[in-house]
């Protein structure tokens, strides 16, 4: 499975004097792998969430906003009846009734879209912290890396949950489609209750592209992580970090080392998240024979487990990967 995971199983890191950059990066990643393997067992500990709150306030804020949006989306106010009436009997009265119904819903969808933009900005910060300090010998890095792993898992969990909700509420796509079809005409209204929900065309176009994906929130995380890895020049280090996170998580789950059911669930989230990101960042994907993550072993490990509602974890993994089918 590659030099990184061989080192994780017990190989020596050697010394850095006179080594090439590639060798130094491998050693740094190996130290990170060993470090993560030692602290992964208590990833669900509340202290990790507190560490994120104290040291990554923006990430913590985004998590809180995400949870609040999930609650609101789960109570989505379906406008299907009003839209159906406006289409079958397109009177001004029916169209205005439909707009009053879908307007607040589209405003919520806009908030979710803007939330995705916030997630897009914070993902590079998390990966930058992990990859740029992967091999630090400072003992406090363990707390920081654990907090970063927890933050990454929580962000992805929120993305999984949002995409599952979107898939379960067909009215989201239908309401937004009706909104866009009638946007130009409704923009001329003098009715303040309707005008307040008018969205600029450029924003509605961006939202349309976002909601066209079956997994818009996960896609945002993937695109942000992939762009960072490519543009930062640290693609291999990022892949090594994801491999280490996945290996530590898989080992903890496989050998029942987690200190609680919550920690085990967080390890599952980290494993699935790392497999997905690795699959998109690596040119050859996570299924390649030279991949730093054993995709088949990961699939076997997550099968018959759930991540979002009753959706099997292996289904979530396959649905969001590029090469793993």
Instruction: Select from 33, 31, 39, 25 the least CA-distant residue to 1.
Output: 33
- Alpha-carbon span 105 to 141, nearest angstrom: 43
- Cβ atoms within 10 Å, residue 21: 7
- Cβ atoms within 10 Å, residue 257: 16
Angle between helices 140-168 and 216-232 (to 10 degrees): 140
Q: Is the separation of the CB atoms in 36 and 245 below 8 Å?
A: yes
Q: What is the pTM of this model?
A: 0.83
Report pLDDT for 21.
Answer: 43
Please report, in tens digits, the pLDDT of each residue of the chain (325 residues total): 333 333 333 333 333 344 454 554 455 445 445 545 555 556 666 777 777 888 889 999 999 999 999 999 999 999 899 999 999 998 989 988 888 899 999 999 999 999 999 999 999 999 988 777 655 556 566 677 778 888 888 899 899 999 999 999 999 999 999 989 888 777 676 677 777 888 888 999 999 999 999 999 999 999 999 999 999 888 988 998 888 888 888 888 888 877 788 878 888 888 999 999 999 999 999 999 999 999 999 999 998 788 777 788 899 999 999 998 7
């Amino acid at each position: 499975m590659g030099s990184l995971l061989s080192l994780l199983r017990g190989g020596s890191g050697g010394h850095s004097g006179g080594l090439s950059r590639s060798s130094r990066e491998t050693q740094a990643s190996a130290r990170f792998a060993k470090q993560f393997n030692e602290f992964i067992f208590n990833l669900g500990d509340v202290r990790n969430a507190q560490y994120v709150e104290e040291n990554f306030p923006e990430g913590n804020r985004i998590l809180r906003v995400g949870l609040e949006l999930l609650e609101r989306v789960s109570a989505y106010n379906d406008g299907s009846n009003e839209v159906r009436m406006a289409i079958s009997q397109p009177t001004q009265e029916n169209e205005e009734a439909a707009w009053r119904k879908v307007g607040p819903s589209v405003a919520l969808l806009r908030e979710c879209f803007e939330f995705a933009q916030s997630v897009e900005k914070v993902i590079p910060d998390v990966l930058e912290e992990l990859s740029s300090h992967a091999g630090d010998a400072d003992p406090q890095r363990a707390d920081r890396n654990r907090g970063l792993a927890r933050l990454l898992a929580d962000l992805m969990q929120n993305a999984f949950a949002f995409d599952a909700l979107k898939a379960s509420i067909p009215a989201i796509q239908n309401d937004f489609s009706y909104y866009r079809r009638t946007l130009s005409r409704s923009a001329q209204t003098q009715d303040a209750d309707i005008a307040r929900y008018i969205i600029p065309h450029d924003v509605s176009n961006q939202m349309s592209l976002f909601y066209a994906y079956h997994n818009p929130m996960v896609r945002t995380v993937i695109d942000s992580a992939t762009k960072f890895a490519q543009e930062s020049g640290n693609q291999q280090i990022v892949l090594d970090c994801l491999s280490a996170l996945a290996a530590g998580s898989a080992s903890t789950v496989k050998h029942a080392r987690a200190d609680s059911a919550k920690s085990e669930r967080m390890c599952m989230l980290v494993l699935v998240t790392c497999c997905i990101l690795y699959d998109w960042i690596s040119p050859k994907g996570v299924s390649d024979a030279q991949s730093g993550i054993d995709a088949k072993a990961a699939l076997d490990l997550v099968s018959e487990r759930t991540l979002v509602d009753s959706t099997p974890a292996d289904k979530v993994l396959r649905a969001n990967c590029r090469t793993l089918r």
